[in-house]
Each structure stands twice: as C-alpha cells, then as structure tokens.
Amino acid sequence: MGGDAREPRAPEMDAELRLDGNAAAGALEELFAFEVTAAVATCEGCGRETAVGALDAYDLEMGVVLRCPGCDGVMIRAARGRGAWSVEMRGVRVLQVKTPR
C-alpha cells in the first residue's frame, strides 16, 4: 500500500485494453445510414484528421465513445436507449464521407 499504487501508471498499460472504431462499426451501422468507419473525421480540439475506424474506442458496453488518438478529445458519443439512438458529435469539426463514383 502507500503512494505507489495511486500514482499514474504507464500509458502502455492503457494501450492493451484500447479498441478502435472498427469495434464500434456494428453499432454505428445501426445508427448511420452510411458506412461511417471509412469516413474521415477532423477533431474539433486539435485538428487531426483520422478515419473513424482508427479512432480510440471506449466503453463499448455502454454505447460508443470515440476519442481522438492525438489529443484524447471525445469526438463521437452515442448510446441506444428505448426506441432511439442518441448521438453527440461536437468533437467532430468536419466529417468527410466518400461517395461511390
């Protein structure tokens, strides 16, 4: 016991548990009418452009939380309640979705 257990631990330990937007693709496909993991999202916080499939995914048991791999800012949050999906994307400045030729 003591201070050691409470001090911040190495970022590498978080990496083990972290999934990416690919893991949220099934849930997101229920929500969006287009395939969103291939879309490129610009982070409102730091401006980084990342494919949604490559965002850091969290709390996939509760819903969808996708964060910017650069600044950890929340980009997309979503959950499915009774009869409705709720999605919040304030952290996405621009979403670019390719169209079929």
Partner 1 sequence: MPAIDPPGGADGIRAASVAPDGGGAAPAAPASSPAPRPPARLAWREAEIVRVIDETPSARSLVLRVPAWPGHLPGQHVDVRLTADDGYQAQRSYSIASPPERPELVLTVERIDDGEVSPWLAGEARAGDRFELRGPIGGYFTWTAAAGGPLQLVAGGSGIVPLMSMLRHRALAAGGREVPARLLASWRGVGAMVYRGEIAALAGGASDGAGDGRGLSVVHTLTREAPPAGWAGERGRVDAEMLRRRVFAASEAPRVYVCGPTPFVEAVASALVALGHARERVWTERFGPTGGGG
Partner 2 sequence: MISRGFRRKRADTGGTAVPPGQYVTTDFPVLSAGPTPRTRIADWSFALEDADGKEMFRWGWFELLALPATEVTVDIHCVTKWSKLGTRWKGVTFDDLVLAAGRPPPAPFVMAFCDGGYTTNLAVADLEAGKAMVAYEYDGHALAPEHGGPARLLVPHLYFWKSAKWVRGLRFMQADAPGFWEGLGYHGRGDPWKEERYAGD
Q: Is 46 in the site for partner 1 (CB under 8 A)?
A: no
Q: Is 17 in the site for partner 1 (CB under 8 A)?
A: yes
- The site partner of 67 among partner 2, partner 1, none (C-beta below 5 to 8 Å per kind) is partner 2
Single-letter amino acid code for the residue at 48: R
Residues 6+ apart with CB under 8 A from 2: none
- Burial string for 54-84 (b: 16+ CB within 10 Å, else e) reads ebbbbeeeebbbbbbeeeeebbbbbbeeeee
Q: Is 79 in the site for partner 2 (CB under 8 A)?
A: yes
Contact footprint for partner 2 (CB under 8 A): 1-3, 5-9, 11, 13-14, 17-18, 56, 58-59, 61-63, 65, 67, 72, 74, 77-88
